[in-house]
Structure 1
Amino acid sequence: MTMAPTATPAPEELVTVIITTSPTPSAPSTELLEQIAASFRKHCQALVRCRVIVVLDTYDHVSTKPRLKKGHVTPDGASKYADYKANAKRLILKEYSPTGRPYGHGDLARTQEKAEFGSGAAAYASQDNTVVMNITTTKDGRVKFVEPVQRLGFGLAVRSALRMTVTPYVWIQQHDWALVTDIPLGPMLQIMHENRTPATKGEEEEKAAGSYQATRPPVEYICFASIRMMEYATSDHVMHFPALRGITQLHKQNFTVQSMIEGGGIVTSRIPLTPFFHWHDKPHLASTSHYLDQVFYSRIAIQRGAFIEDTVGHVARDEMKEGNWKKWASWLYYPGEGKHLCLRHLKGRTWRGVEAELAAKLEYMRLNGLDVNVQIPN
């Protein structure tokens, strides 16, 4: 499928990066976020020129044993998290400053908003099913920090940020996934723009006639492959299900787009995509409006503390197994026929930072009678 060359806005004017972070063993260090920023600069520089919303989620309970996915932290983890949030803000204000000069305190404005969850029925009138969020925004509107006073969880963190987004697309970024391959963000955005889910009356008529999506399947969500998603199109996630096999055979393709560059030249890009039969939380590019309409269709779609892929993601996959994939319009970037890794997991729930990891290795060597002066492999 080849599209005519068009002059489109720069990717950084079309995308908001939404970063979600929460307590980690490496706090108060920002090494996880630093690795993500470094991977952006190396593999997709536009992502550090975009608007950014950082949701600094909190914890639910202080306990003797950390269970970070459940919102449980130790007293030490709780005490370090306030410093981590301050450090994370400083890092982002530096990385995302368009002038090269970090934003200062005079550049910031503060407001409050609420995130609702659960049922709004009269039966629950005695419960205030909302979470107050403290919002800090740079005066140019390009950087925003969201700090809930109660834990939101990944799902509500994303929804809250989406509602504050003013761009048509978002890049969702968890705090412990780094890019390991170049991402052709501009061509991907052009593909998504040219292959939107029908919205206008004319497009709906084409859809009803069977001509619109028959040749132009919508592209509203693009995920990126981690190690467990290699060769996805021929994996058991697809091949064991007739409907998913058929959709893959019909729609897996190289999208060819032509774009105009400064000076009037034309660049041709071929972007390999395969249908993806889930809605994952790991880094992805998506349409803002589609996300809000499809995933967050009501206040009860995602409960407080829940993850999207563990809830709505399974609903989506079940519908796709019945052949209803175009409703979700989810794809996987598929370079090298799925043999090309795109993401590396930084293991934020267990990684303790460079210094702590080194100290643990040295202690292990000491306890096992090994020479602590030898070079330690990573």
Structure 2
Amino acid sequence: MSAQDGAAPSPSDMVTLVITTSPTPSMPSTDLISDILASFKLHCPVLLLCRVIVVFDTYDRIGEFMRLKKGQITAEGARAVELYKANVKDLILNEWYPKAEDISQVFVQGRGLAEYGSPKIVENQIELSTLQTNDRRVTFIEPTGRLGFGLAVRSALRMVETPYVWVQQHDWPLARGIPLSSLVEVMQTSEAEGSVPVKYICLPAIRMLSYATSAHVVPFPALRALTAELKRDFPTSQPDATVPLTPLFFWHDKPHVASTAHYLARVFPSRLAIARGDFIEDSIGQRARMQMKEGNWVKWACWLYCPGDSKEVCLQHRHGRRWKGVEAEMQTRALYAEMRSGRSSPLPEP
């Protein structure tokens, strides 16, 4: 239902939440995911009513040291991965099915493939196992080998049944209220009216503040012109409620809402689009920016949500590869405080 119909669409019917997670030093603790869910409750509770797909990315090999960026984990870490997956499944199921009678869902098991690179190389594919509740509200995807963020997102998108998707990395909790109903309404209205396209809306982190007047835009005449032409407050069906957006000249991996069909067509048109282990922004994002600088912004139709005149942060970053959990974080802070206190104390008298 569009703004013209007098009511905003229900995000729970229009949006699927995709959460990607991978091995971290904080496992088997679910602190990262718990933090994400807590931020949803506080800043965008309707997300917890949407369908959710959780992709558990994994490691390639076991070694003496943990090198997460290279897909290497220790034997102890490998055991923690299995515990972590079980803990996250319990966390998600208890959140999506808070009543004891609801959590006794029948699970449907499935299998799939994540293909990449040349189809002539048989090894260029990773087997996936899926577990889905019979009402399809909760889905878990587990690959047998490391996917990387890009292939993890594509694997989830192939199971999405809604027209829009919210993509969420495990270490980017929300920091302010997000009007998801209004964001979806703006995207849906743009499609219905054939006006300026809104296919992707990214949430701003601290380095994206004042984006419209930043070095990402100002030095490039074409991008300045597009910003001047398109930046606006989009109306919604809610009285006095508008959605401030500015054109974004990049495809970020940070939490974002996007058209499912657009995502598949633009980012993943074929198995050659992205390599195993790659992030979308490191490959597709750079290509998209080059095309936008050449004047082809409409092809990507990327926007940045910019509340508070582009001065309000919507996201925090937990640095998942380094973050060791709430308890470890508190211990580290206490140690630093003790060290600072020791340095500032007067020297004992001789």
TM-score relative to the length of structure 2 = 0.92
> Any gaps of 5 or more consecutive residues in structure 1?
204-211, 260-266, 372-378
Pairwise CA distance, 1:120? 1.3
- Counterpart in the other structure of 2:295: 323
- Counterpart in the other structure of 1:168: 163
Matched, 1:183 2:178: yes
- Counterpart in the other structure of 1:228: 207
1:23-75 CA-to-partner distances (Å, cap 9, x unmatched) read 01110000111111011011111101100000001011223333323322233
- Counterpart in the other structure of 1:110: 109
Secondary structure of the residue aligned to 1:309 is: helix
How many pairs are equivalent?
342
- Counterpart in the other structure of 2:277: 305
8 A contact 1:113–1:133 mirrored in 2? yes
CA distance in 2, matches of 1:364, 1:63: 31
The equivalent position to 1:245 in structure 2, one of 201, 215, 224, is: 224
Report matched runs for 1:2-151 at 5 Å: 4-97=4-97, 100-101=99-100, 104=103, 107-121=106-120, 124=121, 127-151=122-146
Change in Cα spacing, 1:333 to 1:106, as seen in structure 2 (3 Å) is closer
> Any gaps of 5 or more consecutive residues in structure 2?
344-350
8 A contact 1:94–1:103 mirrored in 2? no
> Over aligned residues, Cα RMSD in angstroms?
2.1
Pairwise CA distance, 1:333? 0.2
8 A contact 1:93–1:102 mirrored in 2? no
Change in Cα spacing, 1:43 to 1:60, as seen in structure 2 (3 Å) is same
Secondary structure of the residue aligned to 2:173 is: strand
CA distance in 1, matches of 2:336, 2:78: 27
8 A contact 1:93–1:103 mirrored in 2? no
Question: 1:222 is matched by which residue type in structure 2?
Answer: I
Pairwise CA distance, 1:128? 3.0
Matched, 1:359 2:338: no
The equivalent position to 2:237 in structure 1, one of 258, 264, 269, is: 258
Secondary structure of the residue aligned to 2:29 is: coil
Change in Cα spacing, 1:369 to 1:102, as seen in structure 2 (3 Å) is farther
CA distance in 1, matches of 2:91, 2:332: 27
CA distance in 1, matches of 2:28, 2:342: 30
Secondary structure of the residue aligned to 2:251 is: coil
- Counterpart in the other structure of 2:154: 159
8 A contact 2:197–2:301 mirrored in 1? yes
1:5-39 CA-to-partner distances (Å, cap 9, x unmatched) read 43344111100000000001110000111111011
8 A contact 1:19–1:53 mirrored in 2? yes
Pairwise CA distance, 1:130? 1.4
CA distance in 2, matches of 1:116, 1:279: 22
CA distance in 2, matches of 1:43, 1:101: 26
8 A contact 1:94–1:102 mirrored in 2? no
TM-score relative to the length of structure 1 = 0.86
Question: 1:117 is matched by which residue type in structure 2?
Answer: Y
CA distance in 1, matches of 2:275, 2:334: 42
8 A contact 1:55–1:146 mirrored in 2? yes
Change in Cα spacing, 1:105 to 1:69, as seen in structure 2 (3 Å) is farther
8 A contact 2:18–2:168 mirrored in 1? yes
Question: 1:110 is matched by which residue type in structure 2?
Answer: Q
CA distance in 2, matches of 1:24, 1:348: 6
CA distance in 1, matches of 2:208, 2:295: 21
